[in-house]
Amino acid sequence: MSIEAKRSCKQLPWYFGAGFLMAWMALFYAIVIPLSNSLPNGLKVAEEIEKPGEFVAERAEILLLEIDRMGPRVAGDVANEVVIYDFLLNEIEKIRSEMVTDLFELEVDVQHVSGSYMRDQLMNVYRGVQNVIVKLSAKNSNSTSYLLLNSHTDTKPGAWGAGDDAFMVVVMLEVLRQMSISEKTFLHPIVFLFNGAEEQSLLAAHGFITQHKWATSCKTVINLEGSSGGRELLFQSGPNHPWLMRHYRNSVKHPFATTLAEEIFQAGLIPSDTDFRIFRDYGPVPGLDMATVKNGFVYHTKFDRWALISQDSLQNSGDNILALTRSISNAEEMYDIEAYSEGHSVFFDFLGLFFIYYYESTGVALNMSFSLGGILVVCVSLWRMSRVSCENVSTLACEFGIFLLLAVFGFLLAFGFPLLMSVLYDAGDRTMTYFSNSWLLIGIFICPSLIGLVLPTTLYLTLRTKVCEL
């Protein structure tokens, strides 16, 4: 080999690799993180005159503080059955007093329901579960297809529940208010369900969808959940109603969604569930399941308080849910949703800038096309390398196979090492360590994952070089 060839094959110094990694990290923190944390400015009550028809975050925040002061609201206790019940009826009457009565009708019903159902091979029996239900309809509408919005008023024992789920309760109240004072009517009545027993095995949702007089007319649901502020994630859809994705794409101002979250949630990897399951299985009512996902460390604890939720977060969710409610309540598909049951959809947003969705069948075709295209590129590359290097194609293919196996093994280690760290922290009674400072995630999980990713290839190349030198 000539001196020029040897120089061209000389490896770059190690710090080029470190610089490459640092450049990607810089892009991540300069672009991805700011866009991920980007929220619209909360609209003040004083600004409502200048921006009619928009969600007012300050009013929702005031209501959220009132609910927060009630403390834990466990199904069956006074706070959940009396205090927040009176609060909701009072706020609903305030909305009625502001409503454009020439255009809209507002009906309120309080449901006390008993029943039972099987869930996960366990019989759930309930008695006297309470729901506060509001139906808003346009006087010029004759539709018998209703849009259902759902959130829950109860909390886990000891949890204050500002994020789970008072956040969505006040968002629904403000959406109800904006829809009722608007000069724009809508085709389909909207049912607002403030259910009183979600944390107790989803009981109130079951009582509503199986026994309430309006339940059979509810054709689509927007289920609203939360942890404690931030952006709300669309993590379940349908099933088999991609037209909902079209309305989400066309109406939502701040998209945040991923099919990956749906796959993880429905695989049971997250030890939680939502009312969406009840509506889907016992209605059956298709829809969208959305939840705020920030500050997960306070989820179902006494630290889930009003102070952790910003006006900007309320504005983000309020903008999206109000726009989505307006869009679906005017959807022609609502007249006969079964006619639009066309298969599951794949969906995701791009850095919150825009939303993409396509049919599952399209996703299968794309995956197969890219896979075949990738195999073709590999074959052509191996052939070209053999022509340039004068090496046998089979030798190069064998080398490629080795590196492919190393990459797969590294991928498995990239998952395995963080899991091992989790087991070690659990064993040392330090399970929640990384919640004290978010930057600890880098050392506890990200670094072990990166080490696992590069370890097999690094060891192979190092050992092979030593063997060659011998």
Instruction: Tell me which residues are annotated as active site.
Output: 198
Is-contact 224 174, C-beta < 8 A?
no
Which residues, in sequence order, are bridge partners of residue 224? 290
84-98 and 57-68 are packed helices; what angle lies between their axes, rounded to 10 degrees?
160
CA gap 41, 62 in Å, rounded:
16
114 three-class SS: strand
Strands 354-359 and 218-225 come out as: unpaired
Q: How many Å apart are CA 295 and CA 230, to the nearest integer? A: 8
Question: In sequence order, what E strands does 120-206 have?
Answer: 122-138, 146-152, 190-195
Burial class (CB in 10 A: 0-12, 13-18, 19+), 165: buried
The structure tokens 């099919």 sit at: 259
The secondary structure of 207-250 as a DSSP string is: HHHHH-TTGGGEEEEEEEE-SSSSPEEEEEEESS-THHHHHHHH
Q: CB burial class (10 A; 0-12, 13-18, 19+) of residue 163?
A: buried
Do residues 313 and 230 make contact, with C-beta atoms less than 8 angstroms apart?
A: yes
Inter-residue contact 259 to 348 (CB < 8 Å): yes
The alpha helices in 37-133, defined as continuous H runs, are 57-68, 78, 84-98
Distances (CA, A) of 331 to 182, 189, 255, 297, 372: 18, 11, 19, 38, 39
What is the bridge-based pairing of β-strands 218-225 and 287-292? parallel
Residues 6+ apart with CB under 8 A from 312: 39, 40, 41, 42, 57
Burial class (CB in 10 A: 0-12, 13-18, 19+), 225: buried
Hey, what are 284's tokens?
A: 């059956």
Q: Which amino acid is at 257?
A: A
* Residue 38: Cβ-neighbour burial (10 angstroms; 0-12, 13-18, 19+): middle
Inter-residue contact 34 to 42 (CB < 8 Å): no
- C-alpha dist (Å) from residue 317 to 174, 207, 331, 385, 470: 11, 27, 21, 53, 64
